[in-house]
Amino acid sequence: MRGTTHAAAGVFLGALAGSAGGGESAGIIWGMALGGIAALLPDMDHPGSMVGRLIRPVGVYLEERWGHRDSPTHTAMFVLLSSLPFAAAWILYGLSAALFAAALTGGASHIILDALTRSGVRPWRYLYFFPRRWREKKYGWRLETGNSPLEWVLTAGFLVATLIFVILNLS
C-alpha cells in the first residue's frame, strides 16, 4: 500500500477520533495530524518509505533483520505501544482521550490496509498470550500495491470523506 493511501486513511480516522473530543476544530485538526502520522509509522521498516527515509538507520536495520511487513512495526503490539504516549498525556495531563484514539486508529488503519494486499501482515505476531496459530497466521487479500486503480479509489475516497466531514463539522 502506498504511503498516500495510508496517510489519507489515517487523516480520515483521526478526524473522526478528534471530533469525539467535543467536535472542536482544534481536536479535529490535531486528530487529523496524529492519525496521519500514526498511519505512516509502521512503514519505518522500509528505508524507501517517508518515515524510513527520516530515520534511515532504523529503517535499514529493521528491513535487514526482519524484512518489510515482517518486522515488529507491522503488528498490533507496535500500534498500541506507539499510541501509549498519547494515553499517558491523556491520563497525566488531562489532554483529550481523542488524541490517543486518533493515534490508535491511524496506526490500526495501516495494519488493516496492508492486510488487504497480497503480501499481507501478521498483526498478532508478538502477542504471546494469543494462540500460536493466530500469531503465525498471515492476513492478506488480493489487492496489488503501487498503481492499482482500487488503491487510487481508496485514497480519493478517504480524502473526499475527510473533506466532507471537516466541512460539515467546522462550518
Which three cell numbers, joined as nine digits, stand for 152? 487510487
pLDDT of residue 23: 66
pLDDT tens per residue, the chain (171 residues)?
A: 999 999 999 999 999 999 987 768 888 999 999 999 999 999 999 999 999 999 999 999 999 999 999 999 999 999 999 999 988 988 888 788 999 999 999 999 999 999 999 999 999 998 999 999 999 999 999 888 877 899 999 999 999 999 999 999 887
What was the pLDDT predicted at 20?
87
Residue spans per domain, the chain: 3-170
103, 104, 129, 115: which is closest to 69 by C-alpha?
115
Other residues' Cβ atoms within 10 Å of the Cβ of residue 85: 12
- Residue 147, burial from CB neighbour count under 10 angstroms (0-12, 13-18, 19+): exposed
pLDDT at residue 137 in the model: 96
The predicted structure's pLDDT at residue 45: 96
Q: Where are the alpha helices (DSSP H) in the chain?
A: 3-19, 25-40, 50-54, 56-65, 76-93, 97-115, 132-136, 149-170
Q: Name the burial class of residue 52, with classes exposed (0-12), middle (13-18) and buried (19+) by CB atoms within 10 angstroms of its CB.
A: buried
